[in-house]
Amino acid sequence: MAERYEPAKGFPETPVKLPANASKAEYGSDVIADLLGSMDFEHVFLLPGSSFRGLHDSLVNHTRNAKPEMILCPTEFAVISAAHGYAKATGKPALAIIHDLVGLMLGCMSVFNAWCDQVPLVILGGSGPLDPNQRRIIDWTHSANSQADLVKKFTKWTAEPPTLQSTLDSIVRGYRVAGTAPFGPVYISVDQSVQEDLIPAGIVMPDIKNVMYAPPAPLAADAAAIEQAVDWLLAAKHPLIVAGRIGYNPATTAPLTELVELTGAAYLDDRNVACMATDHSQNLSGDGEIAKNADLILAIDCVDTDNTVGKPRAGKRSIDMSVNTMFPSNWSNYGGPLPAIDLQIPCAPLSGIAQLVAALRARLGGKVPADIATRRTALKERHDALRKKQREGWKDRANNVPIERARLTDSLYEAVKDKDWVITVRNNRGLDEGVFRLNGAGHYLGGDGGGGVGYAPGAAVGAALAYRAKKRLCVALMGDGEFTIGSAAIWTAAHYRIPFLLVITNNTSWGNDEHHQVRVAKERKRPPENAWIGQRMIEPDIDFAALAKSYGAWSEGPVTDPNAMVAVFKRAIAAVEAGQVAVVDVRVQL
């Protein structure tokens, strides 16, 4: 029977019985741990695996579980999702370590999400041993000739280095690749023998502070293209600006708002992002008609530019400002078809916005042309009418049971509006703009990227960890299906004292697909009353409050009374402010 050592009580998880002075590196994994400690990684998300047992030991007993500090997650897809959320919240690459072949298989979906979302991750995977003579029986099953083949199609770069020196060099290169736009995940196998062998002679530790290892400066736009864009923006009668992925960067809102105001353009957030304050008078997010009459559409860092700009038509121009052309794939169709673009401006989006604003300022000289002033006034009237409809259009259903989603949104906003809040994840159908007012970029971190279900719980944990020191109130909204798949991530939050509020919008169904079944049935003239079969998770209903409590969370629910929600949310927020993760299960309309 294996020896079992009981952990020391208390928090954080601090190794014991180590010498007072720093230990000297002896093994390959010690050097790897030293390198990671010199890099910009405060935490490492992981699920233990024997394939990186050497590195695990070094992170604990050599670098003492400090910079990076281990964050234990319950599944590999939670490991990657937590790193994904953490990277978006911090704006810098995050570090994850997963087990060899089988661990990578389980984490593949989350790697795909991060790739689609263009989020910088450095993922290390234990592997090997490369030398067959050193393999145990299980190592033959859990190793492959090219482990990275599993994720090569949806990573920016992979490496399977055979030596300690090449492993160190690959980690540094991977950090640079991940952090260079267009951002994305990289995967590096770390051979078990490289980790566990003594340090060979002649190892050169990369100096991570050397400028040669840093990602390059953001790519600027071509000056002539900027002037062309300014010409078109000022000549347009009905310009429309749509912004996308940059929504999780707080630096976006101010320059984007100025660009919208200088041009007198209507503004829309791309799908599942929020880049500008929803109460801004030119923000028409939620208006399904505004794009139809636009004679110029400027798409900034949008995921599917073809969907954003629409099909070509007479009298319409389109501009794409992004690095999408540098992020092609010959495997996935992610990003949509080739868009009909009149002016392509490849650049880092924030750099391009700054250049546009500077050029517009110079061109306008501080004056507001009459046509722009008139357009602003008309857009404000349209904005006000839209937001009023969004705020009040559901009031006749306010007391419905199950609870109307807009009523949930309204109650949640009432509970958090005076706090320093951030929405870390949300449902695609959640948070109508006129009901839950977002203050701009950095207040909502966007979706999963690739549509891989199960992202939300892990991502919420990672993002809340990033915001913990800032004491921001982190709020996550997710469906019952999403929570069911990834609920064990709540244990990670409870264990590491990562406080946030998680609201389950529980319709007891795989609701998106039930809507699809209703649509198909109606198109085929078949009974839509059967759409629930194979969709509903009932009889028995899952007791999410009890499940959350078992993971160590504060919880309440199911909440079925719409008039009780504000009070429930306030109790949950009090628990969060006391340092707990709080889970509230709310029964909502399908």
Mean pLDDT of 309-321: 93
> Does residue 545 share a domain with residue 502?
yes
Residue of 250, 126, 147 lying closest to 193 (CA atoms): 126
Q: How far, in Å, CA of 251 to CA of 256, rounded?
A: 9
Of 213, 245, 273, the residue that ends a domain is 213
Confidence grade of residue 430 (pLDDT, cut at 50, 70, 90): low
> Does residue 410 share a domain with residue 386?
no
Residue 12, in any domain of the structure: no
Mean pLDDT of 329-353: 92
**147 with 133: CB under 8 angstroms?**
no
> Does residue 567 share a domain with residue 430?
yes
Assign residue 301 the CATH number of its domain.
3.40.50.1220
> Does residue 399 share a domain with residue 387?
no
> Does residue 430 share a domain with residue 365?
no
Of 213, 238, 266, the residue that ends a domain is 213
Say yes or no to pLDDT of 387 above 90.
Answer: yes
Q: How far, in Å, CA of 538 to CA of 400, rounded?
A: 20
How far lies 141's CA from each of 51, 101, 123, 136, 151, in Å? Answer: 12, 9, 21, 9, 18
- How do residues 51-70 score in pLDDT, each as one tens digit? 999 999 999 999 999 999 99
Q: What is the DSSP letter of 551?
A: T
> Does residue 348 share a domain with residue 277?
yes
> Does residue 455 share a domain with residue 372?
no
**48 with 59: CB under 8 angstroms?**
no
Residue 62, in any domain of the structure: yes
Q: Would you call 463 helix, strand, or coil by DSSP?
A: helix
Mean pLDDT of 127-155: 86
Residue 550, in any domain of the structure: yes
What are the residues whose beta carbons fall under 8 Å from the beta carbon of 254, sequence distance 6 or more? none
> Does residue 459 share a domain with residue 544?
yes
Confidence grade of residue 118 (pLDDT, cut at 50, 70, 90): very high
Confidence grade of residue 216 (pLDDT, cut at 50, 70, 90): confident
Say yes or no to pLDDT of 543 above 80.
Answer: yes
Q: Is this prediction's pTM over 0.75? A: yes
Say yes or no to pLDDT of 172 above 90.
Answer: yes
> Does residue 264 share a domain with residue 175?
no
Q: How far, in Å, CA of 421 to CA of 426, rounded?
A: 14
What are the residues whose beta carbons fall under 8 Å from the beta carbon of 497, sequence distance 6 or more? 11, 579
> Does residue 206 share a domain with residue 123?
yes
Residue 4, in any domain of the structure: no
Structural domain span for residue 486: 395-587
* CB half-sphere exposure, 300, CA atoms < 13 A: 30
Assign residue 522 the CATH number of its domain.
3.40.50.970
pLDDT of residue 8: 67
Q: How far, in Å, CA of 440 to CA of 277, rounded?
A: 4
Of 179, 213, 247, the residue that ends a domain is 213
Residue 81, in any domain of the structure: yes
pLDDT of residue 28: 97
Confidence grade of residue 590 (pLDDT, cut at 50, 70, 90): confident
Taking only Cα atoms into account, the Rg of the chain, rounded to an integer number of angstroms, comes to 25
pLDDT of residue 214: 79
- Which residue do the tokens 């809507």 mark? 515
Q: How far, in Å, CA of 91 to CA of 116, rounded?
A: 16
User: Would you list the DSSP string of 25-53?
Assistant: P-BHHHHHHHHHHHTT-SEEEE---GGGH
In total, how many domains does the chain have?
A: 3
pLDDT of residue 210: 78
Strand segments, DSSP code E, in 416-461 are: 421-425
Residue 563, classified by CB atoms within 10 Å of its CB into exposed (0-12), middle (13-18) or buried (19+), is exposed
In this structure, what token pair is assigned to residue 126?
């234990």
**160 with 186: CB under 8 angstroms?**
no
> Does residue 459 share a domain with residue 343?
no
Q: Which runs of consecutive H residues, i.e. helices, occur in 117-207?
A: 137-141, 164-178, 192-196
Q: How far, in Å, CA of 59 to CA of 49, rounded?
A: 14
Q: How far, in Å, CA of 250 to CA of 539, rounded?
A: 44
Mean pLDDT of 146-171: 95
pLDDT of residue 429: 61
The per-residue b/e assignment along 218-251, b for 16 or more CB within 10 angstroms, e otherwise, is: ebebeeebbeebbebbbebebbbbbbbbbbbbee
Tell me how far apart the terminal alpha carbons of the chain are, to the nearest angstrom.
51
Say yes or no to pLDDT of 550 above 90.
Answer: yes
pLDDT of residue 176: 94
> Does residue 583 share a domain with residue 493?
yes
Residue 21, in any domain of the structure: no
What are the residues whose beta carbons fall under 8 Å from the beta carbon of 448, sequence distance 6 or more? 81, 84, 113, 117, 425, 455, 456, 459
Residue 7, in any domain of the structure: no
Say yes or no to pLDDT of 349 above 70.
Answer: yes
Confidence grade of residue 11 (pLDDT, cut at 50, 70, 90): low
Residue of 281, 256, 420 lying closest to 351 (CA atoms): 256
Say yes or no to pLDDT of 1 above 60.
Answer: no
In this structure, what token pair is assigned to residue 290?
């505004």
